[in-house]
Amino acid sequence: MTQDELKQAVGQAAVDILLPQLEDKSVIGVGTGSTANFFIDALARHKGNFEGAVASSEATAQRLKQHGIPVYDLNSVAGLDFYVDGADEANRHLELIKGGGAALTREKIVAAVARTFICIADESKLVTTLGEFPLPVEVIPMARSHVAREIVKLGGDPVYRQGVVTDNGNVILDVHNMQIHDPRGLEEQLNAIVGVVCNGLFAARPADILLLGTAEGVQRMERTAH
């Protein structure tokens, strides 16, 4: 199977989990990226069965609307039962690196609101130790050099993602060469740097369910305390 076929399979598997639980008034949190797009396309076939969605990016909002799925502002909904999104890396504790598509801040906000976060990914995303994928950090533009210097002190190599402005008007530093053995601790340390808006570690709020696309089929992993 190609990587796209694996992504499509997990997108469909997420819809299969949601479908029996959807009600007329359900609003679903929807992530960003190519895997999330397959989920949106599969979800659209059932658009009569739920009320609408909250999008984690402008790109996702546009795709949802193209399918005729109503998009709501997060402030206008009382809560979200589900958030479905991809990841750049996941470990066996369902801690993630996200933000390859620069949507990490809104993704983290929507994930924080959702009762259940279903992460969908092809098997190449599962790693033993997070950090091979450069960790995205969203930064207020005027703080870029300050934040970069502070990240160097933490042992990382920050690289400015040229030409990228987030939906929130900020810039991204991608942190290379970090073996992340304590994702929760590093998430807190990065958040404590003045000028950091958000970082791509999802450890304080990991996924609850990871659907992993493999050649043998979709593998389901659930979070256990550690």
Residue 153, φ and ψ in degrees, nearest 5: -65, -25
Which of 63, 93, 98, 108 binds ligand 5RP (CB under 6 A)? It is 98
Residue 107: active-site member = yes
> Interface with ligand 5RP includes 101 (CB under 6 A)?
yes
CA end-to-end span of the chain: 33
Q: Which stretch binds ligand 5RP (CB under 6 A): 66-74, 92-100, 175-183, 188-196?
A: 92-100
Which of 10, 54, 104, 218 binds ligand 5RP (CB under 6 A)? It is 104
Q: Name the catalytic one among 89, 95, 107, 150.
A: 107
Contact of 27 with 51, CB cutoff 8 Å? yes
Binding residues for substrate: 32-35, 85-88, 98-101, 125
> Interface with ligand 5RP includes 34 (CB under 6 A)?
yes
**Cβ nearer to ligand 5RP, comparing 53 with 103:** 103
Q: Which stretch binds ligand 5RP (CB under 6 A): 28-36, 60-68, 138-146, 171-179?
A: 28-36
Which of 31, 131, 134, 158 binds ligand 5RP (CB under 6 A)? It is 31
- Residue 22, Cβ neighbours under 10 Å: how many? 17
> Interface with ligand 5RP includes 33 (CB under 6 A)?
yes
The residues near 97 (Cβ < 8 Å, ≥ 6 apart) are 87, 88, 89, 130, 131, 133, 135, 136, 180, 200, 201, 202
Angle, in degrees to the nearest 10, between helices 58-66 and 34-43: 30
Look-up: residue for tokens 């942190």?
A: 175
> Interface with ligand 5RP includes 15 (CB under 6 A)?
no
Distance of CA 72 to the CA centre of its chain: 18
* Residue positions annotated with a catalytic role: 107
| Binding-site ranges for ligand 5RP (CB under 6 A) | 31-35, 85-88, 98-104, 107
